[in-house]
Structure 1
Amino acid sequence: MFCPNKNSYLQLVCAMNPRVINKAVDQAMQRKHFDPHTELPPAQRLESMQPSLYAPHVDITRARLGFGRVGLRIINRELHDPDQLVQLQALHTIMDQVQISENAIFLIDIHVVYRLIDLMLDRDPIVREKVCLTLTHLAGYYQGRQRIMSRADIISNLMKLIMRDRKEIRYAASYTLRTLARDRCACEKIMENNDIIEDLLKMIKNDHTGIVVLHLKTLANLAEWDQIRPLKANAFQVMLKLFENEDYRIISGAMDCMAQLCKHEIGRKLADENDITFVLRRFLNSPDIEVIISTVGLMAYTTLTTRSKWRAKERCTELAKRLVKLCHSPNKPVLQLRCMQVLINLCDCSDFRFYIKTYLEKKVLGIKIRTHEEWDGTTETSSYGLETGHNYRTMCIEKVECIKNDYGDNALVVNVHSYLKRLAEMKQQLINAINWKPYRD
């Protein structure tokens, strides 16, 4: 028999409803006690007590304690319970509760991050994976990132999991590291690890596709902070090799990482030596839009040198027509911005400028730029509409364009009006570059 009121099992398998047996026993004993859990309707409790993620070996129809501030403190202490089952249930419950922002902030305040970091290298693989998933969610909060990065051993623990553990835990640990690397302040502390760049490049060569994509995003964020260390570790040659990969996500990630490396003069010199401008021509016709966006983003840096501009002049007709055609993509403002920047760079070459002035000037003047009513700052949509709406202040949005400045110590997200104004100014700069004449003329 099963008593829902006491949460106890007297018989695990029963052919009939246990509540019927309970009511028969109560009637035979002539008990006067009224138990609301054995009467109809059977569920006389608040729906908010039902968790969305169920812990293992727990009766989901009953809650022992409401998840208030007292309950969260108890669960936080149970993370170090000697009973492994209690510890696992507490960890699973915390992973469910951090989905609620109020509870996540309270758990951060009572130092749940430190307890989770102590469990990162636990013997149980389930514990290691759930700790990484919970830390990933907490790292989405500013307070969570501050607490996580205050522990010096967090990066070394993550790298141990990424280098040696099974693939499910490697993916979870890679996701945690990628989330932390999106914060510029955290990048400075992450780069204090002397071997992190070399280890990530080593794992990129042999790991699964999903994990490689996360590592590439992490490397791009770290290279944005410091280009010298990745260049010394031959990251440029590794990224160039990844251009031959079959997965479009890996190609796009490698291009984004190489674009950060080409911000340094050594990276641009390597790009000239390897003739990257000619290598990227075939990717301008890629069927994947993300590859095209990453391609023109990389070309914006590789076409800054005189050598690359003269090399691009050899394919003047092909490049000019394709780039101007890509500029007519009002649904992808980031693609417009990057294509116009590449054209401005190439217009320093007189032959390239003459060709656009003669044959493509009308198309350049006809480039359409969205108004702020037509665009809310995102390009990715879901079945329920736009994912983020007008939330411009957040820095961590998955699969959605975060508009931020590429320069300065404070690379902050800007609003839609500023971004569209930047697009209009870029178009005017392109028109001026086309019509530019030498001083002697």
Structure 2
Amino acid sequence: MFCPHKNSYLQLVCAVNPRIINKAVDQAMQREHFDPHTELPPAQRLESMQPSLYAPHVDITRAQLGFGRIGLRLINRALHSHDNLVQLQALHSVLDQVQISENAMFLINLQLVYRLIDLMLDQDPIIKKKVCLILSRLATYYQGRRRIMSRPVIVENLMRLIMRDRKEIRYAASYTLKTLARDRCACEVIMQNEQVVEDLLKMVKSDHTGIVVLHLATLTNLAEWDPTRALKANAFQIMLTLFENKDPRIVSGAMDCMSQLCKHDVGKVLADDYDLTFVLRRFLKSSQIEVIISATGLMCYTTLTTRSKWRAKESCNELTKLLVNLCCTPNLPLLQIRCMQVLINLCDSPDIRHHMKVYWEKKVKTINVRTHEEWDGTSETSSYGLETAHNYRTMCIEKVETIKNDFGDNAQVVNVHSYLRRIREVKEHLLQAINWKSYKN
């Protein structure tokens, strides 16, 4: 019989259609409930929800094998079958079972990853897409990343799919590469590929929006590991052109990548040459909050040089007003700390420091820092607050920026209490910078 809770069949082999058994049991129990999976058509979905790449003669909504340990071993064995249909059924079942962490760990121990890497270059596009989706899921586990990165050829295979295949497969491969690049140890293996950064920068220029967003996240992690290669490949100029994109996700991703480039000495010189502080000034008025957060994060690095401080004096009134007003948004602690850090950098200039002392010192003292009960540790508290609650130490939510350390070998999630304490310390540091007097005076 079919078990809807496990999304699998209870027995491995059945001579009778399980849907008929389900109907017979329901009729005997006189149960009057509508099960869309026992009616025709079986999926009962909107047509627009059907995938563009689907396997023929395979039920895309249901696994074909059991979910027990015996069934998982049979699935792993079926991946080596010469029958294309058997392979498709096995891959669909694997994609279904890896959603359960216990089964995913068991399949990792069965050396499933090595077989999947071999199937990445199969001629069937459905197999390539399913393999990338399965690897993306397994890469969320430490054991899975360790097994995947033990075969560095996966980076070459992924780049071949990203560069040459259709858009559905490009998206799946890009998501897999982005998931792997989130691990610092995996970044070291990925950077051993001689063309990975250059090829990603080529695809960023002209690919679809969703794929470009994934590439920018990958480039950000790779540039954090080694910004030199990205700078040599003209990544700074490419990111600067992406600032004019209409999609806020691309603009925000380009700014995050630029922030990693500006940590390097060459990146700081380029930021002065292109006058990034003036370029970013108009983004502080953006209607998209993620663009404002990324812009202020980039300004934390562009305002470090003496040349940038002298240029900021020309628009001192407008720039300080925007930053101080953004500091007074307690519902976004990440934005608060970045804006205050930019003001601290600018206060190294005596003229800006005097301006802050005269006009904005009182307002800086009234900046409100929210309590830990009002914040769950992410940059988006309104839409995800109920879902995350206070499980920020164990939960990781995709597409939500989680507060983490910006240094060290193991950048872990920071405790909310310590982060809020850090915001208060930065506020005190800003007040000290405003009231600081040179020894010459």
**TM norm structure 1:** 0.87
Is 1:210 paired with 2:210? yes
Q: Deviations over 1:114-150 (max 9, x none)?
A: 1111111111100000110111111111111111111
The within-5 A match list for 1:312-391 is 312-380=312-380, 386-391=386-391
**CA–CA distance in 1 between the matches of 2:384 and 2:304?**
42
**CA–CA distance in 1 between the matches of 2:359 and 2:272?**
28
- Report the counterpart of residue 79 of structure 2 in structure 1: 79
- Report the counterpart of residue 15 of structure 2 in structure 1: 6
**CA–CA distance in 2 between the matches of 1:5 and 1:197?**
50
Aligned residue type for 1:6: A
Question: Aligned pair count?
Answer: 412
2:28 counterpart SS class? coil
**CA–CA distance in 1 between the matches of 2:397 and 2:61?**
35
1:245 counterpart SS class? coil
Is 1:243 paired with 2:243? yes
Answer yes or no: is the 8 Å Cα contact 2:63–2:96 preserved in 1: no
The within-5 A match list for 1:21-420 is 40-41=28-29, 57=57, 66-380=66-380, 386-393=386-393, 397-420=397-420
**CA–CA distance in 1 between the matches of 2:302 and 2:106?**
47
How much does 1:413 deviate? 1.5
Aligned residue type for 1:41: M
Aligned pair in 2 of structure 1 residues 178, 196: CA closer, same or farther (>3 Å)? same
104-113 vs 335-344, which deviates more? 104-113
Identical amino acids, percent of aligned pairs: 70
**CA–CA distance in 1 between the matches of 2:143 and 2:350?**
53
Answer yes or no: is the 8 Å Cα contact 2:60–2:92 preserved in 1: no
How much does 1:381 deviate? 5.5
**CA–CA distance in 1 between the matches of 2:312 and 2:285?**
16
Unaligned runs of 5+ in 2: 1-12, 44-49
How much does 1:383 deviate? 6.7
**CA–CA distance in 1 between the matches of 2:61 and 2:24?**
14
Aligned residue type for 2:432: N
Aligned residue type for 1:365: K
Aligned pair in 2 of structure 1 residues 106, 171: CA closer, same or farther (>3 Å)? same
RMSD: 2.9
Answer yes or no: is the 8 Å Cα contact 2:58–2:88 preserved in 1: no
Aligned pair in 2 of structure 1 residues 183, 393: CA closer, same or farther (>3 Å)? farther
1:315 counterpart SS class? helix
How much does 1:402 deviate? 1.5
How much does 1:410 deviate? 2.5
Answer yes or no: is the 8 Å Cα contact 2:239–2:254 preserved in 1: yes
How much does 1:385 deviate? 5.2
- Report the counterpart of residue 24 of structure 1 in structure 2: none
- Report the counterpart of residue 430 of structure 1 in structure 2: 430
**CA–CA distance in 1 between the matches of 2:383 and 2:371?**
24
Aligned residue type for 1:197: V
**CA–CA distance in 1 between the matches of 2:342 and 2:389?**
30
**CA–CA distance in 2 between the matches of 1:141 and 1:205?**
31
Answer yes or no: is the 8 Å Cα contact 2:119–2:127 preserved in 1: yes
User: Which aligned runs of 4 or more in structure 1 are off by greater than 4 angstroms?
Assistant: 35-39, 52-56, 58-65, 381-385
**TM norm structure 2:** 0.87
Answer yes or no: is the 8 Å Cα contact 1:227–1:260 preserved in 2: yes
Answer yes or no: is the 8 Å Cα contact 1:78–1:90 preserved in 2: yes
2:373 counterpart SS class? coil
Aligned pair in 2 of structure 1 residues 40, 59: CA closer, same or farther (>3 Å)? farther
Answer yes or no: is the 8 Å Cα contact 2:231–2:261 preserved in 1: yes
How much does 1:295 deviate? 0.4
Unaligned runs of 5+ in 1: 10-16, 20-34
**CA–CA distance in 2 between the matches of 1:382 and 1:125?**
39
Answer yes or no: is the 8 Å Cα contact 1:181–1:221 preserved in 2: yes
**CA–CA distance in 1 between the matches of 2:81 and 2:30?**
34
Answer yes or no: is the 8 Å Cα contact 1:120–1:157 preserved in 2: yes
Aligned pair in 2 of structure 1 residues 383, 303: CA closer, same or farther (>3 Å)? closer
How much does 1:109 deviate? 1.0
Answer yes or no: is the 8 Å Cα contact 1:395–1:413 preserved in 2: no
Answer yes or no: is the 8 Å Cα contact 2:65–2:75 preserved in 1: no
How much does 1:384 deviate? 7.9
- Report the counterpart of residue 5 of structure 2 in structure 1: none
Aligned pair in 2 of structure 1 residues 402, 272: CA closer, same or farther (>3 Å)? same
How much does 1:60 deviate? 10
Aligned pair in 2 of structure 1 residues 75, 382: CA closer, same or farther (>3 Å)? farther
Larger radius of gyration: 1
**CA–CA distance in 2 between the matches of 1:41 and 1:118?**
48
